[in-house]
Each structure stands twice: as structure tokens, then as C-alpha cells.
Amino acid sequence: MDKNFQATFDQCPNCGSDQRFCEQLGQELKDRGLARPDWTFNYDVRNGVVMDGKYTQIHILSGATLPGFTIATDICMDCGTLYAVRLNRLEGEMKPMPRQGPIMPPISNPRFS
């Protein structure tokens, strides 16, 4: 897959409508001056990296990159279909996991006994 992959879907894949519920709610805020003109409101936005849990963590070095994604969804106002309106492929950098130090038992203090 192209590392710069991006896709935008302007119409519902089910009925072809371009009327989206959350997008129109966001537009109401913009019309009233309560949101930035370039802001877009979606039903849900998810992002992350693709990895096989601890298997990937064990086999990859800190600072290496993994394929990542952003998916924005909205709801068609004409037929109710929930669908992706925007897909982006990203690169996510692995950060070193912080080492957990030893757990120290509480110190006995006669003032708190």
C-alpha cells in the first residue's frame, strides 16, 4: 500500500446521498461562529497502529515505524448507513516502554502506627 494513501468518500455507498448527520451538526456550529471554518465533525474517528500484540512488541526495535491509520465515519441522513468518510494511512513510531522499578514496601513510621 502507498505510504501516503488517503481516500475521501463524498456519498453514501448504499443510497448515494451526500447528507451526513454529524457533518451537518458541525455545520450548525460553524454557521453560528462557534467552531472554526475548517473544522469537520464526524460521528467517530479512530486511529492507531497495526500490530500483533506482544509478538510485534518483542520483535521490533524502539524508534522503528509501524503502519498506522485514521478512519473517520459518519451516518447517512437518508438511509442511516454508517460509513467511512475519510481513510488515511500513517506511520506510527514505536516508543520505548518505561521500565517499572521495584515496588518498595512502606517504611514503618511510629508516627502513623
22: pLDDT strictly greater than 60: yes
Report if residue 81 sits inside a domain.
Answer: yes
Number of domains in the chain: 1
Asked if residue 112 belongs to a domain, the reply is: no
The answer to whether position 18 is within a domain reads yes
Reported confidence tier of residue 25, pLDDT bands at 50, 70, 90: very high
The residue range of the domain holding 69 is: 6-31+39-94
Tell whether 108 is covered by a domain. Answer: no
Is residue 78 in a domain?
A: yes
Tens of pLDDT, residue by residue over 38-70, are 999 999 999 988 888 777 777 777 677 889 999
Amino acid, single-letter form, for residue 102: P
Give me the DSSP letters along 3-25: TT-EEE--S-TTT----BHHHHH
Tell me the whole-structure pTM to 2 decimals: 0.73
In a domain, 99, yes or no: no
pLDDT in the model for residue 79: 98
**Domain-embedded: residue 54:** yes
> What percentage of the chain exceeds 70 in pLDDT?
81
